[in-house]
Amino acid sequence: MSDAPTLPAAAARVQAALAALGSEARVREMPGSTRTAEDAAAACGCPVGAIVKSLLFRDAEAGSPILVLTSGANRVHEKRLGRQLGVRLERADADFVRKATGYAIGGVPPLGHAAPIRTVFDPALQAYETVWAAAGTPFAVFPITPADLVRLTSAEVVEVT
């Protein structure tokens, strides 16, 4: 693991966003991939449930992005979540993800995007003292408390499964 001075540009942007929000969370570059929840759990030495999957959906009518922060152990129930949010959700393709967040799939962080994104938080993540979120690349993550993640992202806590 390495620390901030040697971070790739995308991970450094996430670190800068964390600092700008007043967080002391530190981005870490891992020696192995963190692209999937399983990979990230192995790299971080934590349960898969403590991994924050940042999944981007698209409001089908408005065309706007909706970011879902869910436990690595969970699968989002798109129709149910859409009903709860009052929108029809569509899966976002790789181009939409990059355009909306500034990051590629496999490294999308929960914060540090070019523009604000409506964000939803899976309450299952609250079962963990610390969760690990992607930090801009398929090898970068940062640890944070669930409460701090909700606060920093202004997320709505909503059942997503």
Over its length of 161 residues, how does the chain's per-residue pLDDT go in tens digits?
Answer: 444 458 999 999 999 999 999 999 999 999 999 999 999 999 999 999 999 999 999 999 999 999 999 999 999 999 999 999 999 999 999 999 999 999 999 999 999 998 999 999 999 999 999 999 999 999 999 999 999 999 999 999 999 99
Q: Return the number of other C-beta atoms located less than 10 Å from residue 79's C-beta.
A: 10
Query: What range defines the domain where residue 63 resides?
Result: 4-157
CATH label of the domain that carries residue 57: 3.90.960.10
In this structure, are residues 153 and 120 in contact, taking their beta carbons and an 8 Å threshold?
no
Q: What does DSSP say about strands 89-91 and 140-144: parallel, antiparallel, or unpaired?
A: unpaired
Tell me the HSE value of 3 on the side-chain side, using a 13 A CA sphere.
Answer: 3
Mean pLDDT of all residues in the chain?
95
pTM for the predicted model, two decimal places:
0.94
The structural domain count of the chain equals 1
